[in-house]
Structure 1
């Protein structure tokens, strides 16, 4: 998501910073909704429309000699914007100064703020936004830093225009510095199109690569450790290759529960040499046992020739590599696959 798309949220909070409430209200839609139910303060609740928001903001100043609300950071996350805020206030009678920090997840529609959700921390807002974007995702592209020895930018842009929601940088040949440099193109493309960006198997580089999450395999670092290293706001994906592994991943709780699962490979692929195919049966099993709030993707040799079979087995999300990366027209290939998912 480029800066022009985050601008409405930033202008909204900038107006609040200057105390220009009416200008801030001019930056929201008629049906705007702010969910502040997670607040521990007296103004917890859900507020709809400009008049309710005006009343809340006017009441915030009661009992305070001064109050300053400012944005201290922001970043796009999927199709939304996470914003870090800080309120500084001084008591009217005591003069005691207090400071409170929080995070907001902002939605924008037609150039105006249409919704805001309050969180106690910025990391919580980021994680919530990433999980919402992941729940909406359907088409996931994995590719190396320089597909076919070329700049990845044109491929990524074409794939994302065609309907890819999530891109992963997977390159076992690069050192740490090379991965961080390569990640810039993936991050830029994801932001431009409101998509998520994952890094393969390197939770220790998630922050340096500015990735939304990391994907690990069964033989890699355990999910709780990957989550600890990647950070509180990062998503963690996990590969599964059998009904037993898939069931175990679903049964995991707390930090051990992955945010996203992949099931496969449907067929053997050169991307994972030596990995036997799990077959279409694993896809049918996953579709039968996974609850709606557990995003999972079928993976492994999926392309236009077999996607109908994969969807018929129950998959609603797929991971692709060659089916888009090696296509003569990656945008058209992505669009065809996305359409097949319904």
Structure 2
């Protein structure tokens, strides 16, 4: 699908389907192309089988042609499982492979630029590293989801300082008290050092956020039930697992989704 065609021919049913899958997603995997292991297809099947809802290919070590080839494998496997797949940073590649999801960082393309290039059907996500950035993401109606982190320092993002769990608490409180339902229900993932061992800490931090601001409640006056859906982006928890299918199932069980 070309960039011009994608932008010019919106498919409301396709976008609705993608957003439904996003809304129900809890576990998001970022993986390299597994060039050394040579097992990308089998690994992707195992991850989706275990309960991963979205898989993003992120590999700065490979050439563009190899990235496209790996993404074509990912697209095929994702379709077989009825799940979402994501492209990071490269809008041109996202258009070529018909990505469901396109993810950007703070210094990458803006959301309006992404929409101009890829059209309205693609799901767009953004990385955030502070409460002001998370607030801007929550308030951006053209943005479909955002990630907060890295909660712990991680070798996948060398040089980026950890945000700590306090940002999870603050973000959960902000979402709970948002003035409109679309903001309170914005899909939000935690990222950076999240695994089966640390995930309960993340859940506790998220649960304490709404409690701290529950007295005033959402500005719209809507009822808030105190339940904060915790979603997680993982990397090494699955890419380094001896049994990625079992590791994904364990994470999904902890997430309770």
TM-score, L = length of structure 1:
0.62
Post-superposition shift, 1:231? 2.4
Q: 1:302 to 1:327 in 2, by over 3 A?
A: same
Q: Distance in 2 between matches of 1:175 and 1:210?
A: 19
User: Is residue 2:158 matched to residue 1:266?
Assistant: no
Post-superposition shift, 1:313? 1.7
How far does the alpha carbon of each residue in 1:124-150 deviate from its partner, in whole angstroms, 9 at most, with x for none?
111111111100100000001126432
Q: 1:189 to 1:292 in 2, by over 3 A?
A: farther
Q: Which structure has the higher relative contact order (CA within 8 Å, separation 6+)?
A: 2
8 Å contact from structure 2 (residues 10, 120) kept in 1:
no
Q: 1:258 to 1:307 in 2, by over 3 A?
A: same
8 Å contact from structure 2 (residues 71, 97) kept in 1:
yes
Q: SS in structure 1 opposite 2:146?
A: strand
8 Å contact from structure 1 (residues 227, 235) kept in 2:
no
Q: Structure 1 residue aligned with 2:84, among 182, 187, 196?
A: 196
* Structure in which a larger fraction of residues adopt strand: 1
Match of 1:215 in 2: 103
Q: Which has the larger radius of gyration?
A: 1
8 Å contact from structure 2 (residues 10, 119) kept in 1:
no
Structure 1 segments, 4+ long, off by >3 Å, are: none
Query: Unpaired segments of 5 or more residues in structure 2?
Result: 1-8, 176-182, 207-228
* Structure in which a larger fraction of residues adopt helix: 2
User: Is residue 2:235 matched to residue 1:321?
Assistant: yes
8 Å contact from structure 1 (residues 162, 334) kept in 2:
yes
TM-score, L = length of structure 2:
0.81
Post-superposition shift, 1:204? 1.7
8 Å contact from structure 1 (residues 213, 230) kept in 2:
no
Q: Structure 1 residue aligned with 2:138, among 250, 273, 276?
A: 250
Post-superposition shift, 1:122? 5.7
